[in-house]
Amino acid sequence: MDNVIFQEQENEVSIHAFQLEVQRITQLEISDEEILREVFHRLIHKVEVFEDSSIEIHNSFKNPLSLGA
């Protein structure tokens, strides 16, 4: 049971970190499309679109501090 709680907490931290990164990126003025594409490739592992039109975005980092590495 503790492992499930730990995993949920880790997921919440990861989701929050992802949201902060997206907010930070949306505030940047990136005019170079290639740079913008690279930034999104670092943030997003995959995007799934389902038949009911729902979207699931899988981020590509566990620790937001390792994003720049």
Residues 13-54: tens digit of each pLDDT: 777 887 887 777 777 777 777 887 887 788 788 889 999 989
Q: Are 59 and 45 in contact, with CB atoms under 8 Å apart? A: yes
pLDDT of residue 69: 42
pTM over 0.85: no
**CA neighbours closer than 13 Å in the CB half-sphere of residue 68:** 2
Look at residue 36 in the predicted model and tell me its pLDDT. Answer: 76
Residues found in the chain: 69
